[in-house]
Structure 1
Amino acid sequence: MFEFKIGVTANEHDKFVQNHPLCNLLQSSSWAKVKDNWGSEIVGVYEDGILIASSLVLIRPLPLKFSMLYTPRGPVMDYTNKELVAFFLKELKKFGKKHRALFVKMDPTIHYNDFHLGEEKTLNPQAQMIIDSLAASGAKHQGLTMAMDATIQPRFQANIYKEDFSDELLPKSTKKMMKQAQKKGVTVKMGHTELVDDFAKVIELTTERQNISLRNSEYFKKLLNIYPDSSFIMLAEVNLKERYEETLQRYEKNKADLANLKENQVKKRHNLEELDFSLTREKNELEENIARSGDVAVVAGALAITFGSTSEILYAGMDERYKRYMPAYLTWYDAINECFVRGCDSCNMGGLEGSLNDGLIKFKSNFNPTINEFIGEFDLPVNGLLFKASEYAYKLRKQKK
C-alpha cells in the first residue's frame, strides 16, 4: 500500500535520488537553496515504510495568491510502475491544491532517444508507454519540442559517459587542438571560490560575445558554497610574460642568424625571413596582450558540480581574444576528466537545440558525447478552470523572454 508524505528529509531524499537511475543534480535537496527565490518542499511515496518515489518541488507565487509548482528533472520514481505513477500524480495534485497551484510542471529524466552524432538513434522502447501513463494519470504532454528555449530545461543534451571518454577515443582533431594549446603555453588549474572572480570575468566576456545572459560572480560563489565538496572550477591561463621572453629570445637569435648569412644562402634566407615575419607578429601580439591582460591572462574556464554518479558542467566560457590558443579544449577535457576521477559515470556538457545544427554541438562533438533526448515537459492541471488561461499566460511570458 502506498503512503504519500510531505516533508521527506533532505538526507533521505538525497540518498534515494543519488542511487536512482534517474539521478539528477536538479533533484538534489540543495537545489532549493540555489533557487531560493522559489518556495520548496520535498514530497515522496513510501511502500511498506520504504521510500520508492521522491521529488523536490519548487513553488513559485503567482498573482492573486495563486502559485505554480515545478519539479525540476523529476519526480524521481519507477515510471514503468503505472500504479505508482497514478498515485504520485494524484497526491501531487492534492498537494498543489494546498498551495493554490494552477498546475504542476514536470520534466523527468526519461530518455526518448540516445545516439552518437552520425549514428542511428536508439529509441527507448518504454518511452511512449511512460508518456501515455503520465497522460492517463492527468498530465498534459507539451510535446517533443525542438527549440532549446521551448522548455525550462533543454530537451536535448550532450552527455559524456565514462566508457566513451579516453585519450584513445578522442577524435584526432581534438587531440591536435589540445596539443596546440599546450604548445602555446596554456595551463589549467583547478580551484574553488578563490577562482570565482577570474572565472566570472571570462563568463562576462562570453555573454557579451554571444549576447546571452548567464550569471555573475555572486551567483557562482553561491553555487560553490551550496555544494562545497562536490563543485570545482577549472581555469585556463597563459603566462604571457614567460611566453614573451621565450619569443623575444627566438626573435633576436633569428635576427642574428639572418645578419650572419652569406649571400648565396638563398633558401635559408627565405626560411629565416618567414620565421622573422612570424616571430615579429607573435612578439607584437604578446606586447598588446600583456598591456591589456597583465603578465598572466585567464583565457577560459568551466564550473562543474557532481551529484551521485552524475555531473554537470553548468557554466563555461572563453576569452575570444585568445581563441588562437585553443584553451577551451584543455579546460573542458580536464573538467570532464575530474568528474570521472571523482567517481561519476556521466558528465553533462549542457543543452542543445533539437536541430543539432547550432554552434554548441560543433564544439561539444569534439569529446564524443552521447545525445540524450528526453520525453519533454508535462503539466499536471490542479485548478481545472484556470489552467488553460494560466497555460496561455505562461507560454506568452516565455515568448517575451
Structure 2
Amino acid sequence: MKFCNLTIDEFESFVNDEFSHYTQSRVHYEGRKALGLDVHLVGVKEGEKVLAACLLNGAPSFKFFNYFYTHKGPVFDHHDKELTDFFYRNLTDYLKQRKGLFVLVDPYITRHLLDGDGNVTESFEMDDIIANMEHAGYVHQGYNIGYSNDSQARFLSVLDLTDKTDAQLLKEMEYKTRRNINKTIEMGVQLRDLDEEEMDKFFRLYKMAEDKHGFSLFDLATFKRMKKIYGDNARVVMAYIDLNDYLALLNEQLASKRADYEKSAAELAEKPDFRKLKNKTAELEKAAIQLEKKARDIEALKATDGDVLELASAIYVFNNHELYYLSSGSNPAYNQFMGAYHMQWEMIKFANQLGLKRYNFYGVTGDFSETSQDLGVAKFKKGFNAYIDEQIGDFIKPLNPVAYALYKKVKKK
C-alpha cells in the first residue's frame, strides 16, 4: 500500500463509486482551490487501485500552526484495521510536515437508524471502529445531542428514494404533509431557481428564519461563496405565488360554485321539503361565501404586498448519492401558502429524477422529546416519511501535543 496525493480524477472516480458526502467531491476541491483556500486530496493506493480517499481542508491556527479538517471523510471502510492504521499513521506524518496543530475528522459512518420519533430500528457495530481510531491516536468526541458551532449535527433526517416513484413517495408521507403539498399545487405555488444576482432574495428569507429561531450563522457572502464552490451541483430555489393567477383561479372556482348553488336553489324552490337537497344547497352557499371571502382577502393582500409573493427559499447541493437541503428560510406572514412544502416536494422529485438514493433534509438535534428546541422542524421533516441517520461523530488528534495543550488553555479563557 502507498499513501499519496491523489489526482483529481482518481479522487472523483473513487468517491463517485463509494457512498460519500457532497463535501468529499471534485466540485468542492476545485471550488476551494479557485478561492485560494488550503485543500488537499490524499489517499491510499495499491498499485493503481485507490483504497481510500480524503479531501482535507486546512486553515491557519494559533499563530504558527495549521488546523486540518475533513468534513465527512475520509472515505474508506473503517472496519478494516490494517487500512485504518496505515492511512492515519501516514496522514499524521503528512500533516506534521505542514505544521499541523491538530486534525478533526468526522467520517460518514452510520451508528444507528431511527424512525422519525427517535426509536432505533437498526444498529451498526462501532466498537471496532472507535478502537481502530484510538489506536491511531484519535479521541472520539462522544455521542453528543444538539447543535454545536464546533461540529456538524450527528443526526440527519433522510428520505429513502430507492426504487420509488414520485407517486409512491407522496403516498407514503403523513396525511397532513400530503394534503399541504396538494393544496400548494391547487393554489398555483411555483418554484424557480435564483441566479447570483438574486441571492439577496434567498438571504432575506433566511434571515427571517434566523430571527425566528434566535441564531446567526452565515452572512450573504458565505452563501454566495458556497454557490460558487458547488456550481452546477448547487441550486438556490425560491417558492413563490403569483396572486393574479391565484385570483383568476379563485374567481373561476367561485363562478362554478355560484352556478351550482343557483341550480340547487332553484330545485329546492320546487321541492322545499326535500331535506337532502336543502342540506346540499346550504353547503353550496357556504362554500361560495368562503370563496368570496378568500378572493377579497387575496385582493387586499395583493394591494398591500404586490402581485408576486416570495414564500420560501433554500440552497441545495447534490452529488452522485444524495441531494442535501442545507439552509433555508420562509416568510411567516405567508404561511397560508405553505411554500416550504411545495419547495421540498419539487426538490424531492428533482432528486428522484436524478436517480439519487437519498434526499437528505440534514440535521436535527437528536432530542426527540416534546421540549426539544427543534421540535417543529423535526416534525416537519418526519411528515415527509424521513427516517433518522445517527452518525458516529467527531474524532480529534493533536499533531503537536505541547502546542495543542496550550491552544486548549487559551481557548477556554
User: Does TM, scored on the shorter chain, surpass 0.5?
Assistant: yes
TM-superposed deviation, 1:77: 1.5
TM-superposed deviation, 1:103: 0.8
C-alpha separation between the residues in 1 aligned to 2:352 and 2:254? 42
C-alpha separation between the residues in 1 aligned to 2:403 and 2:355? 46
Match 2:403 to one of 386, 392, 398: 386
Name the residue aligned to 1:302: 314
1:320 and 2:317 correspond: no
TM-superposed deviation, 1:374: 0.8
Q: Tell me the secondary structure at the aligned position of residue 372 of structure 1.
A: strand
Name the residue aligned to 1:198: 201
- Structure 1: 5+ residue stretches without partners: none
- How many residues align? The count is 390
Q: Tell me the secondary structure at the aligned position of residue 27 of structure 1.
A: coil
Match 1:180 to one of 154, 178, 183: 183
Pairwise mapping of residues 28-47 of structure 1 onto structure 2 (< 5 A)?
28-32=25-29, 33=31, 36=35, 38-47=37-46
Pairwise mapping of residues 101-250 of structure 1 onto structure 2 (< 5 A)?
101-118=100-117, 119-125=119-125, 127-149=126-148, 151-163=150-162, 166-190=169-193, 193=196, 196-215=199-218, 217-247=220-250
C-alpha separation between the residues in 2 aligned to 1:271 and 1:340? 41
Pairwise mapping of residues 73-92 of structure 1 onto structure 2 (< 5 A)?
73-92=72-91
C-alpha separation between the residues in 1 aligned to 2:326 and 2:390? 18
- Structure 2: 5+ residue stretches without partners: 273-277
Name the residue aligned to 1:13: 11
C-alpha separation between the residues in 1 aligned to 2:252 and 2:318? 45
1:135-158 CA-to-partner distances (Å, cap 9, x unmatched) read 111101111111221652111110
Q: Tell me the secondary structure at the aligned position of residue 189 of structure 1.
A: strand
Letter of the aligned partner of 1:286 in structure 2?
A: I
C-alpha separation between the residues in 1 aligned to 2:401 and 2:240? 56
Name the residue aligned to 2:389: 372
TM-score, normalising length: structure 2: 0.83
Letter of the aligned partner of 1:53 in structure 2?
A: A
C-alpha separation between the residues in 2 aligned to 1:376 and 1:96? 21
Q: Tell me the secondary structure at the aligned position of residue 75 of structure 2.
A: coil
C-alpha separation between the residues in 2 aligned to 1:228 and 1:72? 19
1:24 and 2:21 correspond: yes
TM-score, normalising length: structure 1: 0.85
Distance 1:366 1:289, change over 3 A: same
Match 1:354 to one of 319, 343, 366: 366
- After superposing the two structures, state which structure 1 stretch, 10-19 or 135-144, moved more: 10-19
- In 2, are the aligned partners of 1:236 and 1:327 still within 8 Å (CA)? yes
Letter of the aligned partner of 1:96 in structure 2?
A: L
Q: Tell me the secondary structure at the aligned position of residue 302 of structure 2.
A: helix
C-alpha separation between the residues in 1 aligned to 2:330 and 2:176? 19
C-alpha separation between the residues in 2 aligned to 1:334 and 1:251? 28
- After superposing the two structures, state which structure 1 stretch, 229-238 or 213-222, moved more: 213-222
- In 2, are the aligned partners of 1:192 and 1:231 still within 8 Å (CA)? no
C-alpha separation between the residues in 2 aligned to 1:170 and 1:373? 21
- In 2, are the aligned partners of 1:29 and 1:56 still within 8 Å (CA)? no
Q: Tell me the secondary structure at the aligned position of residue 351 of structure 2.
A: helix
Distance 1:29 1:255, change over 3 A: closer
1:32-80 CA-to-partner distances (Å, cap 9, x unmatched) read 4359585221111112232211211111101321121111111112212
| CA RMSD, Structure 1 to Structure 2 (Å) | 3.2
Distance 1:206 1:280, change over 3 A: farther
- In 2, are the aligned partners of 1:199 and 1:235 still within 8 Å (CA)? yes
Distance 1:160 1:273, change over 3 A: closer
- After superposing the two structures, state which structure 1 stretch, 276-285 or 360-369, moved more: 276-285
TM-superposed deviation, 1:384: 1.5
Distance 1:347 1:270, change over 3 A: closer
Pairwise mapping of residues 268-283 of structure 1 onto structure 2 (< 5 A)?
278-279=290-291, 281-283=293-295
- After superposing the two structures, state which structure 1 stretch, 92-101 or 192-201, moved more: 192-201
